[in-house]
Amino acid sequence: MQALVIAAHGSHLSAGSSTPTFDHADTIRAVGAFDEVRESFWKEEPHFREALRTVDADEVYLVPLFISEGYFTEQVIPREFRLDDWDPELWESDGTSADTATLTAEDTGQTVHYCGPAGTHDAMSDVIVQRAESVTGDPDVGDGFGLAVVGHGTERNENSAKAVEYHADRIDAMDRFDEVQALFMDEDPEIDDVTEYFESDDVVVVPLFVADGYHTEEDIPEDMGLTDDYRTGFDVPSLVDGHRIWYSGAVGTEPLMADVLLERAADAGADVGDAIERVRSETGGEPASSD
């Protein structure tokens, strides 16, 4: 038996924080790739601390629904899941290349394949592109468009910026959008100056965040000048300094995100059969490439 356990942040204050986690878990449940799929949270229940005992499988694929490597993936999750002998070195990561490490959970004895975060998986680039398609309503969006991938920045964690740049570079290399730029909330190049970084009239802005909340719903729209007060809302697209800004909200709410979780587990050795292809086709992604 194999189980997929998704580790997400959750919230004490916002009911919507866990919604993308539930949605992606349900997508994966529906394709039956795992005997069990269980959501777990740092701020909700089941808590990281007690999630493993709620699944029956001896073999667990633990995938953090986090955007980057750092404090949560390296310290909090392994500690709270009681992963014996964890050491961040096991991932041999350069900051965006964590894949998997196989460990034993001290309290349950289960074998846990602890995967790198969803946010740094290559498939995440496809989710960002699909988010751009969703917000523009154009499955071929790219020509004549700029794309900004937005992250928190280095204030709390330098890998958070690395993840944003990693995907911006990958999408740039696809030659699909006229321009691709990584922007940040608390460092240069800053999201406040979004229009200065693009020549294109149309710019899609995709925040690399797991769930919508304070940053994606209040900070970023106001910083970009989409609105003076987030409570009054804004149009998509909104005109800012002569550019049409297509603001997508958190990338993590895109249904294709389920594919990234699944691919993380498959990379770690989970037998998922044709689930990746099925999830990709059901959530609007292109068929997976053979590599």
- Which residue shows structure tokens 């909200």? 249
Cis bond before residue 237 (omega within 30° of 0) = yes
List of residues 6+ apart from 23 with CB closer than 8 A: 253, 255, 258
CB of 101 to other proteins, least distance (A): 20
Candidates 45, 92, 187, 271; binder of other proteins (CB under 8 A) is: 45
List of residues 6+ apart from 56 with CB closer than 8 A: 1, 3, 35, 36
Q: Does 186 bind other proteins (CB under 8 A)?
A: no
SS (H, E, C) 102-134: EEEECCCCCEEEEECCHHHCCHHHHHHHHHHHH
8 A C-beta contact, residue 269 and residue 113? yes
Count interface residues toward other proteins (CB under 8 A). 25
Candidates 43, 170, 176, 244; binder of other proteins (CB under 8 A) is: 43
Q: Does 23 bind other proteins (CB under 8 A)?
A: no
Closer of 49 and 176 to other proteins (Cβ): 49
CB of 257 to other proteins, least distance (A): 18
CB of 149 to other proteins, least distance (A): 26
Candidates 3, 4, 5, 13; binder of other proteins (CB under 8 A) is: 13
The identity of residue 208, as a single letter, is: L
Choices 47-55, 131-139, 188-196, 222-230; region in contact with other proteins by CB under 8 A: 47-55
CB of 213 to other proteins, least distance (A): 13
Q: Give, in degrees to the nearest 5, the angle at Cα 110 between 109 and 114.
A: 125
Q: Does 56 bind other proteins (CB under 8 A)?
A: yes
DSSP 88: G
8 A C-beta contact, residue 148 and residue 203? yes
Closer of 87 and 143 to other proteins (Cβ): 87
Counted residue by residue, the chain has a size of 291
DSSP 54: G
x/- track of binding to other proteins for residues 58-97 (CB under 8 A): -------------x---xx--x------------------
d(Cα 110, Cα 105) in Å, to the nearest integer? 5
Candidates 32, 47, 102, 271; binder of other proteins (CB under 8 A) is: 47
Q: Does 239 bind other proteins (CB under 8 A)?
A: no
CB of 80 to other proteins, least distance (A): 8
Q: Does 104 bind other proteins (CB under 8 A)?
A: no
Token digits for 187?
């460092």
Between β-strands 111-115 and 59-64, what pairing exists: parallel, antiparallel or unpaired? parallel
Closer of 27 and 134 to other proteins (Cβ): 27
> Which residues contribute to the site for other proteins (CB under 8 A)?
11-15, 22, 26, 29, 42-47, 49-51, 53-54, 56, 71, 75-76, 79, 107
